[in-house]
Amino acid sequence: MAAVDVEDESILASIFRDSFPDSWRDNPDFTAYLSELSSFGVDKLSREPERLAEERAQILQQTRELAFSNYQTFIRTADCTEHIYRDFGRVESSVSRLLDKLPGFGEKCRGFVKQAEEIGASRRMNSLTLNRHTEILEILEIPQLMDTCVRNGYYEEALELAAYVKRLERKHSSLPVIQGIVREVRQSTQLMLNQLLQQLRSNSQLPVCLRVIGYLRRMDVFTEAELRVKFLQARGTWLNSMLAAVPEDDAYFHITKTIEACRVHLFDIITQYRAIFSDEDPLVAPVVGGQVPVNEAAIFHGWVVQKVAEFLETLERDLQRGVGGRLDSLLGQCMYFGLSFSRVGADFRGQLAPMFQRVAAETFSRAVQEAVDKFQEDMNMYTLISLPSMLGGTIPPVAPGVQPGTLQPPMSLLDFQPLACFLNHILTAFNDLRLCCPVGLAQDVTRCLEDALKKLTRQILVFHRAEESAFSTRERELFVQFCCSYAEDLLPFLNRCLQLLFPPAQIALVLGVPPTQLHRYDSLGCIDIAAALQPLDFVLPQRETLVPPPPAPEVDIDAELSSLALETPIKEQRPDPEPTLTPGESEAAAEQTEVKSEDGEDDDEEFSLD
């Protein structure tokens, strides 16, 4: 098909403007006809419309003949065309629907392929799992087996399982199944740790403790220092439970049972610790590289010191509650306890002396105060009356030396009931004190007695001022005899009692001075009688006085006595020249003084006056 030149086309466009639609321009026949038409001459061009009309009529005639002769074919063709059109419409709609479903179908196919691959991989894994079923089952049963071993006490097997699980964790830490097994095994391991620590909190002997510490070391959950602390904490908890089970109703029973429990069980714990752990390091660890390392030896030392301090607190508390007259027995048990601990380097006997000394002094002070209060009550109700027969004068004297080591109270005090009752209370206090009588109390006891005697003197003066205006001649004589008996019988007798409790020879030996120099130490085993009687000088009859020796320089004996050890003084006192009376010699004496002396080195004197 020849193409129309641009020039010809422009010419044709200008000639046949608006003569034919634009769509004809693309028809090749139309273009060829225009080219042919443009080549015609004028004559031929003028005949062209007629030729075209004739050709059109001929074509229409041929078309009518063709339609008439082939009308059935045209009908069938029209029907086929209609059917084909409808079929193509259906095909087009089906294709459209197919095209819409193809993306989803492709996605489903890809999902199917992926799922098929997963199913294949799972099948291969199931096949492999089936082949390794026994081994996998053993691994999956490790947590249950671990729990069974721990609850039944098979700690050796449990530790082996825990070590195996640790190796599995290092190799396959990313697998969820292994992570679950490790988590459950750790829970069982924690249960085993609690059980082992609980065994240390029970009454476990050395073999059990050794086995438990061995298991704890293999578990590798504590450092060496932490393991020592855990052992001491657990054993200390058990010891505290034993001490808490002791009844606290009676102070003496509680402290004696506490001493027994501490002496036995605490010594066992120390023995177990030293058998399990080695403390070869010094208590003061050297500094290395600017850092102080953990001093394992100091851990045990601090724990022992803490337990001793707790025992001393318990002892102090029970002593404050009061143990009656059994202080000497308690002291002996505590000293034996401290002696047994000296074998393990924890001797605490030096801390017992001040404690018992303080308790003995407080007990004596309370007894003396009670005696003073009772004397004050007696003096408030006392009247000077002439007895039918003076009790002190009707009792004949007894020759000295009848009973060696005895000390007889003056019987003349029986004539004056307040003085006799006061002496009875003081002798009772002396009898309680002599059971546990440290030499260091010599000054405190003497000063306590001096203060009490000064209060007695003031009370006698109060009685004199209140009754002096109403005194008869006989009552005045009786009051003078009362004061003389107080000054000449009671006070010297108390001095002799103090010398029996605190022998001058022993005090001089402790202080390192000759016995003749003890007078330089004021208030040391000897009452200052002159100071106690000074307010009564206007009542007492005048006597010849000796020239006193020149005053010696004062010596501070607090420092001298502060370092004295607690001990019962040695009784080496010579027999008192005072006479000792027998109950059958006079029925007027209701009860007499009894002095008990035991054979051997520890001769104890007991005083009583009723």
Contact in structure between 142 and 185 (CB atoms under 8 Å): yes
pLDDT of res. 409: 82
The pLDDT of residue 405 is above 70: no
Contact in structure between 529 and 491 (CB atoms under 8 Å): yes
Confidence band of 135 (pLDDT split at 50, 70, 90): confident
Confidence band of 587 (pLDDT split at 50, 70, 90): very low
Confidence band of 396 (pLDDT split at 50, 70, 90): very low
The pLDDT of residue 397 is above 80: no
What CA–CA distances, in Å, run from 198 to 191, 231, 234? Answer: 10, 11, 8
The pLDDT of residue 493 is above 70: yes
The pLDDT of residue 115 is above 90: yes
Confidence band of 608 (pLDDT split at 50, 70, 90): very low
CA angle 228, 233, 235 (to 5 degrees): 95
pLDDT of res. 249: 85
The pLDDT of residue 293 is above 70: no
- Report the pLDDT averaged over residues 19-27: 71
Confidence band of 386 (pLDDT split at 50, 70, 90): low
Q: Which residues contact 199 (CB under 8 A, 6 or more apart)?
A: 208, 212
pLDDT of res. 17: 57
Of residues 20 and 560, more confidently modeled: 20
Give the dihedral sign, CA 216/220/224/229: negative
pLDDT of res. 362: 86
pLDDT of res. 51: 86
What are the counts of helices (DSSP H) followed by strands (DSSP E) for the chain?
Answer: 23, 0
Give the dihedral sign, CA 12/14/20/25: positive
User: Taking Cα atoms as reference points, which of 342, 341, 204, 358 lies closest to residue 259?
Assistant: 341
Distance CA 344, CA 128 (A): 65
Contact in structure between 254 and 316 (CB atoms under 8 Å): no
- Report the pLDDT averaged over residues 178-206: 90
pLDDT of res. 110: 92
The pLDDT of residue 578 is above 90: no
pLDDT of res. 317: 87
Q: Where are the alpha helices (DSSP H) in 220-351?
A: 224-244, 251-261, 267-276, 296-321, 327-341
What is the percent of the chain with per-residue pLDDT over 70, rounded to a whole number?
A: 78
pLDDT of res. 421: 92
Contact in structure between 443 and 558 (CB atoms under 8 Å): yes
pLDDT of res. 346: 78
pLDDT of res. 266: 87
- Report the pLDDT averaged over residues 14-26: 68
What is the percent of the chain with per-residue pLDDT over 90, rounded to a whole number?
A: 13
Confidence band of 10 (pLDDT split at 50, 70, 90): low
pLDDT of res. 443: 83
Distance CA 337, CA 320 (A): 20
Confidence band of 565 (pLDDT split at 50, 70, 90): very low
pLDDT tens sequence across 434-447:
877 778 788 888 88
The pLDDT of residue 131 is above 50: yes
pLDDT of res. 585: 34
- Report the pLDDT averaged over residues 246-275: 88
Burial class for 77, CB neighbours closer than 10 Å (0-12, 13-18, 19+): exposed
Contact in structure between 413 and 489 (CB atoms under 8 Å): yes
pLDDT of res. 394: 45
Determine how many CB atoms are found less than 10 A away from the CB of residue 245.
Answer: 9
The pLDDT of residue 175 is above 60: yes
pLDDT tens sequence across 321-373:
877 777 878 888 888 888 888 887 778 888 888 888 888 888 888 889 999 99
Least confident of 200-204, 278-282, 287-291, 454-458: 287-291
Give the three-state DSSP class for 288: strand
Least confident of 70-84, 277-291, 552-566: 552-566
What DSSP character marks residue 344?
G
Q: Between the ranges 152-161, 375-384, 531-540, 589-598, where is the mean pLDDT highest? A: 152-161
Least confident of 152-166, 216-230, 558-572: 558-572
The per-residue pLDDT of the chain, averaged, comes to 77
Q: Which residues pair with 288 in a beta bridge?
A: 291
pLDDT of res. 282: 52
Q: Between the ranges 56-60, 410-414, 565-569, 606-610, where is the mean pLDDT highest? A: 56-60
User: Taking Cα atoms as reference points, which of 465, 450, 451 lies closest to residue 536?
Assistant: 465
